Amino acid sequence: MNWTLDQLLAFVTAAELGSFSAAARKLQKAQSRISSAIANLELDLGFELFDRSAKFPVLTVLGQEMLPEARAVLNQCLRLNSRALTAANNEPISLRVAIDESLPLETMHSIFSQVGTLFPNIHLVITNGSQDDIALAIANKKADIGFMISNSALPAQLTLNSLGYFKKILIVGKQHPLAKESVLSLSQLQQYRQLVLCNRSGENRESALSPNHWDLDSYYFICELVTQNQGWAIVPEHIAKAPWFFEQIKIAKSDFLTDVLIEVGIVKRLDSPNSKLTDWLTEHMRHLMDKRLY
């Protein structure tokens, strides 16, 4: 077998994006180079990976079988490069950090106030956004690491290291009919609209307990609608207790919900090397998460 990593990358990128031209744009190469790389890979493997009879190439049955194998080889190469960079002690001079808007501000502020003292020469770029924003920024190399709520739909080239958990609580508006009840049952909740977190495309939402539910892409927007008595929700405790919501909501009790926890992690690309700063951020964030939970 004489295939190369460039050929595998062309194959995987074309399969994921649906066309050779899109792969060429993503990899910043001429389309002819992408086409040649895939053709040479097919020649070496002894079978076609794409059916080219239609307007856009479509994976053959064998191509579908080869795709996860090719991804695994590329991902292993990314890990090898990461370990090599770390072993060479190639410490970064700048770090771009993306932060999930759902994380508590006071926790993040306390972390970065210490960074300025302990790593005075590092250039930091800090951005905020939704779960989708964080994952996309890192996948597209617009950010180096991110702190975010765990999302099972991360792109294949990203990895998430768990840092801990936040508590989630059941809330209703103070004027909502459910606010009159001391302890709520599932059947009572199912009579009213639930407000559920989803991503920005309206997909990958959290599990809904009520057949009547709205899907929203922000816990802050969910809490705002709860204050307007538009539904009930299960949200991170630190967001519900924010001063602009807390006076207008009731933290409800139920006879079926135990402690509901939401996982938070640090996400990065598989080929991103560790450094003293990223290791420090990870450990101190984990310590702060433990203090918040317990």
Give the DSSP per-residue string, 20-62. Answer: HHHHHHHHTS-HHHHHHHHHHHHHHHTS-SEE-SSSS-EE-HH
The SS3 call for residue 151 is: coil
Q: If you average pLDDT over residues 199-206, what whole number do you get?
A: 72
Domain boundary residue among 71, 87, 103?
A: 87
Q: Are residues 175 and 251 in the same domain?
A: yes
Render pLDDT for 104-146 as a digit per residue (tens, 0 to 9): 877 788 888 888 888 887 888 999 888 888 988 999 999 999 9
Number of domains in the chain: 3
Average pLDDT, the chain: 89
Q: If you average pLDDT over residues 23-31, what whole number do you get?
A: 94
Q: If you average pLDDT over residues 2-26, what whole number do you get?
A: 93
What pLDDT does 156 receive?
Answer: 82
Q: Is the pTM for the entire model greater than 0.75?
A: no
Residues whose CB falls within 8 Å of the CB of residue 17, separated by 6 or more in sequence, listed in order: 23, 26
Render pLDDT for 223-279 as a digit per residue (tens, 0 to 9): 999 999 999 999 999 999 999 999 999 999 999 888 788 889 999 999 888 888 888
Q: Are residues 186 and 246 in the same domain?
A: yes
Q: Are residues 113 and 81 in the same domain?
A: no
Q: Are residues 71 and 208 in the same domain?
A: no
What pLDDT does 292 receive?
Answer: 61
Q: Are residues 249 and 170 in the same domain?
A: yes
Helices 105-118, 276-293: inter-axial angle, 10-degree rounding:
150
CATH of the domain at 176: 3.40.190.290
Q: If you average pLDDT over residues 81-86, what whole number do you get?
A: 71
294 pLDDT band (50/70/90 cuts)? very low
Q: Are residues 177 and 245 in the same domain?
A: yes
> Domain of 98?
94-164+263-293
Q: Report the percent of the chain where pLDDT is more than 90.
A: 55
Q: Are residues 145 and 268 in the same domain?
A: yes
CATH of the domain at 285: 3.40.190.10
Instruction: Provide the residue type at 133 as one letter.
Output: D
CATH of the domain at 77: 1.10.10.10
Q: If you average pLDDT over residues 168-193, what whole number do you get?
A: 95
Q: If you average pLDDT over residues 96-101, what whole number do you get?
A: 92
Q: Are residues 70 and 180 in the same domain?
A: no
86 pLDDT band (50/70/90 cuts)? low
Q: Are residues 32 and 158 in the same domain?
A: no
H or E, element range at 134: helix 131-139
Q: Are residues 43 and 67 in the same domain?
A: yes
The SS3 call for residue 203 is: coil
Residue 293 has pLDDT above 60, yes or no: no
Q: Are residues 268 and 247 in the same domain?
A: no
